[in-house]
Each structure stands twice: as structure tokens, then as C-alpha cells.
Amino acid sequence: MNQYQTQKVHLVFETCEAIELPMDDIKTFNFKGIKTDIRYQSDYGIETTQTCDSFYMLLDYDQINKIETMQITKDGKPMMLGERIITYNDIVDINLTINGESYDIYLPYSGEEFESNEWMKTKILSAKELFRPDFDSSHKYLEIKVEKEPSKNE
């Protein structure tokens, strides 16, 4: 039996907008290479920051695209979450609440303009393309991949 219970997942965007995902709309997520940095400053005390080398998430696109965001479309309507993720590629961190404790895990981020992450790739897939007969075949699914590309010096 799993001893960890994820209670909340928030996507945090470059604009500081944070949107809670309904747990039923999340099919899977995975962080790799999580590390914790510890910093001390006399005026702030000890601070910790968690980052990861890569992140993967699969969401029910049809369901999350019913969630309004603060972004506005060209015709003045609120942009839906699925469209916002694909259009801007700017998820900065994931906030998880697990067993009552909150964790912010920052994703790899690169780009000349901070508004779009060059390392974030998105794709809309069908249940058939995912080889998942247990998924609703009438729905589309949003795949999000963020992976740090090694620098030329590594």
C-alpha cells in the first residue's frame, strides 16, 4: 500500500498564476533528479529550494480545457488551461501537497525570453496513440515534458 497521498497539485506559471489541477484529470506525473539546495542569509535565515532535471505529466486535455486561466484570448475571453499550457510553455514549478506537506519543485527552464521555456515540449495525443485502452477513447490527452538539455561543458 502506498504511504503517500497526493492531495493537491498546482501548476505555477511564469506570470505567477497558480492553478490547482483536479486529481482525476492527472493521469501520471514524474520528476527525475530532484535535488535540494540550502542557502543561508543573515537577514532571511535558511532557505531551501528543490529543483529537478526532468519532469513528465499526462493530463486529460478535454477536462483541463474546461478550467479558465487569467490569460485572455484575442477575442477577450479567458483562455482555457490546456490551450494556455500549449500556447505559452511557461510552467515554472509544480506545487505538490503530499500528506499535508507542501513542496515546490522548480522545473528546468531555458529561453532568451523568460516567457517561454525552450525545454518544455507539449503534445496532444489520443488514448490509442498512448496505447492505453483503459483511458476514455473519446478524450484527448496532453503530454508535458520538460528536460534539461546538457550544456556543452558537461
Instruction: Give which of 3, 6, 10, 11 is closest to 89, Cα–Cα.
Output: 11
For residue 153, is it within any domain?
no
Tell me the pLDDT band of 1, cut-offs 50, 70 and 90. Answer: low
Domain that includes residue 76, residue range: 6-147
Q: How far is Cα of residue 38 from the mean position of the Cα atoms in its chain?
A: 23
pTM: 0.86
For residue 20, is it within any domain?
yes
Contact 7/97 with Cβ under 8 angstroms? yes
List, for residues 41-100, the tens digit of each pLDDT value: 999 899 989 999 999 999 999 999 999 999 999 999 999 999 999 999 999 999 999 888
List, for residues 99-154, the tens digit of each pLDDT value: 888 999 999 988 666 678 889 999 999 888 888 888 888 889 999 999 987 555 54
In total, how many domains does the chain have?
1
